[in-house]
Structure 1
Amino acid sequence: MKDKEKHLYYLNELSDYKVDSDDPDVRGWKVKDVDNRVIGKVDNLLVSKARKRVVYLDVEVDSSIIDANHDPYGKPASADVHEFINKDGENHLIIPIGLARLNRDEKYVYTDKINHRTFAETKRMEAGADIDRDYEVVVLESYNRDLDRGERTGDSDYRDRETTANPKRDLDEYERSRMSDKDELLDDDSGTYEERRQRGRIPDDDSFYDRGEFDRDKYRR
């Protein structure tokens, strides 16, 4: 990660860190998408030392993700990112902790927002790779586009799927919650990465992890 601040550390790099006593250690657990398809397993946890907590799951993807052979979605976060091509050996993805849910009884992690194709279209990385802010932005833009697509197209199937995952909320409450959770840092995503960074849309520091995607309370539900 030349000339860039390191924000994230793998849990096994930090001898003085351990999993929070309120959370199970999900390393080795299967990860499922919104349609209950296995997309991989949790290989490691990524920690923000500044925030002293886990912010991402590091997932080794299932072969079905690689075999789908979709081109990664996204736009260059900066001039240093010239193309989005998943190369041989890049078989890991990161999932923000707030987009993951736990099934403690059957010991698997799942998401109620992201489908198999979106995972397959997301830029991957090699196991143990250093993760910079550029890559984080690319991944979050990939995951967040499904909500945007549902709003633009009036995709009732997507909306029904979302509300079904939260049966105790009526539609109005669901819409309010979704808008409050929506990524404020990418509300105005016009311009280059550097332009957005200078406008304060993409913080250089660990205030980046104030976003709703990193809400641990959602993870624990």
Structure 2
Amino acid sequence: MSDNDKNLFYLDDLSKYKVASDYSDIRGWEVKDTDKRTIGKIDGLLANKEKKRVVYLDIEVDESLIEEGHEVYNESAGSGTHEFVNKEGENHLIIPIGLVKLDEENKTVLTDEINHSTFAKTRRFSKGADLNRKYEITVFGQYFPDKSVDESHQQGDEFYNREEFKKSDTKN
């Protein structure tokens, strides 16, 4: 995928981007779900250059998520459509930045909107993979099955205007 087709970039790959001095660099922090179960650790930050901000956290998932077992995370739309299965080595997933709160004292990232089972069923990817909008829409649908992304918001950067991508200033 060429840089012209990309809408997400790893912060480490953007020389002119860095974590703002008034924010904690949360890479390496543990991520916990609604029930305070460990999901994994923050491995990277994904930024949208048009919005000039981080929109996703790249999480290296905990082994407990992988061991929870396979469940279909994308229902068939009709005959001939196959379910997706996470492959060996696909041990990363993303979470929109607006869905987390920081516990700076314990260096932990918390989400009170997504549980362990949902994370376990979410489509994963290999470390450093280029992520496309189709993957984003799939993950968004898994996290929010009752919210749809209309076609007009599927291609452009206005996709990131949703509440789920707005940085929460709430800290525990």
**Pair in the same fold by TM > 0.5:** yes
1: CA distance, partners of 2:108 / 2:91: 19
Structure 2 unaligned regions, length at least 5: none
Q: What does 1:8-157 correspond to in 2, within 5 Å?
A: 8-75=8-75, 83-145=83-145, 148=146
Question: Structure 1 length normalisation: TM-score?
Answer: 0.71
2:133, 2:154 within 8 Å by CA — same for their partners in 1? Answer: no
Q: Could you say which structure has the higher helix fraction?
A: 1
Q: CA deviation at 1:73?
A: 1.4
1:39-92 deviation digits (Å, cap 9, x = unpaired): 100000000011110000000000000001122412479xxx954110000000
Q: Out of 155, 162, 167, which is 1:211 matched to?
A: 162
1:102-140 Cα shifts (integer Å, max 9, x gaps): 001111001001110000000000000000000000001
Mapped to 2, the partners of 1:210 and 1:51 lie a distance apart of: 9
Instruction: Judge conservation of contact 2:45–2:57 (CA < 8 Å) in 1.
Output: yes
Q: Work out which structure has the larger RCO, using CA pairs closer than 8 Å and 6 or more positions apart in sequence.
A: 2
Q: Give the 4+ runs in structure 1 shifted more than 6 A.
A: none
Q: Is the 8 A contact 1:97 1:219 kept in 2?
A: no
Report the Cα offset of residue 215 of structure 1.
1.1
Where does residue 171 of structure 1 map in the other structure? none
Unpaired stretches in structure 1, ≥5 consecutive residues = 149-182, 190-195
Aligned to 1:6: 6
Q: CA deviation at 1:27?
A: 0.2
Question: RMSD over aligned Cα, in angstroms?
Answer: 2.2
SS in structure 2 opposite 1:141? helix
- Which entry has the higher C-alpha Rg, 1 or 2? 1
Q: Is the 8 A contact 1:31 1:41 kept in 2?
A: yes
Contact 1:61 1:91 in 2 (8 A): yes
**Residues of 1 paired with 2:142 and 2:119: CA distance?**
8
Equivalenced residues, count: 168
Q: CA deviation at 1:219?
A: 5.2
Map of 1:156 onto structure 2:
none
SS in 1 for 2:144: helix
* Structure in which a larger fraction of residues adopt strand: 2
**TM-score between both structures, scaled by the size of structure 2:** 0.90
1:162 aligns with: none
* Matched AA of 2:154: P
Whether the aligned pair in 2 keeps the contact of 1:91 and 1:127 (CA below 8 Å) is yes
Q: Is the contact made by 2:137 and 2:154 (CA closer than 8 Å) also made in structure 1?
A: no
